[in-house]
């Protein structure tokens, strides 16, 4: 089971609280190979490297001047290209960011990446060829994989152990993901 977790670095330099819950939810899936992904400047590489100590084997930093100033549509488009390249079974996103507070990127990413979608997830009940979740406002839902889940604030992100190892961080540009730069950043 390959899980990709979308993470945004907050203005304070720490992980967005909703994304922290999504990351922890992914780490709790038994036997899952967890990768984290974020868009940002090259300085975010250290932020992602620290987060790999919690359990992700790898982090992807989407960093290119073409991505700067992206709104939710351009962000979802850019992330979707990386999703298509990585081919995860599940994508976990925090319900929203504290910066934009729109809760739009996850659902739009699902559309661009052509995945099933469950929003406002309170618990992940079963994962197989499909995923069953309990949501805040729609009860229990089951969808086929690949699927994107937007996670509520349902848990707390673990702390790294003293002996935990850092994973690797790969930096991908617009060219690496085959992006149309007219759909990225401010142009998007």
What is the pLDDT at residue 180?
98
What is the pLDDT at residue 127?
98
DSSP letter for 15, please.
Answer: B
3-state class of 47 per DSSP? helix
Confidence band of 98 (pLDDT split at 50, 70, 90): confident
What lies within 8 Å, CB to CB, of 61 at 6+ separation is: 37, 38, 39, 40, 42, 44, 45, 48, 169, 170, 171, 172
Confidence band of 166 (pLDDT split at 50, 70, 90): confident
Q: Check whether 100 has a pLDDT greater than 80.
A: no
pTM (predicted TM-score) = 0.96
Confidence band of 14 (pLDDT split at 50, 70, 90): very high
Q: Check whether 173 has a pLDDT greater than 80.
A: yes
In the chain, domain spans: 2-187
Tokens of 90: 């599940």
Q: Check whether 156 has a pLDDT greater than 80.
A: yes
CATH of region 2-187, choose from 3.40.50.720, 3.40.50.620, 3.40.640.10, 3.40.50.2000: 3.40.50.620
Question: Is 171 in contact with 45 (CB distance < 8 Å)?
Answer: yes
């Amino acid at each position: 089971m390959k899980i990709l977790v979308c993470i945004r670095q907050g203005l304070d330099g720490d992980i967005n609280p909703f994304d922290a819950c999504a990351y922890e939810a992914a780490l709790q899936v038994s036997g899952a190979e967890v990768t984290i992904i974020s868009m940002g400047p090259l300085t975010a590489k250290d932020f992602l490297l620290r987060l790999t100590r919690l359990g992700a084997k790898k982090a992807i930093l989407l960093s290119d001047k073409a991505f700067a100033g992206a709104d939710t549509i351009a962000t979802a488009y850019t992330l979707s290209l990386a999703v298509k390249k990585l081919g995860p079974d599940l994508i976990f996103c925090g319900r929203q960011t504290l910066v934009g507070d729109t809760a739009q990127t996850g659902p739009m990413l699902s559309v661009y990446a052509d995945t099933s979608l469950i929003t406002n997830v309170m618990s992940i009940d079963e994962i197989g060829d499909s995923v069953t979740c309990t949501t805040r406002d729609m009860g229990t839902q089951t969808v086929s994989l690949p699927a994107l889940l937007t996670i509520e604030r349902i848990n707390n992100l673990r702390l790294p152990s003293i002996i935990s190892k850092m994973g690797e961080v790969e930096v991908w540009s617009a060219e690496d993901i085959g992006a149309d730069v007219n759909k990225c950043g401010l142009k998007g």
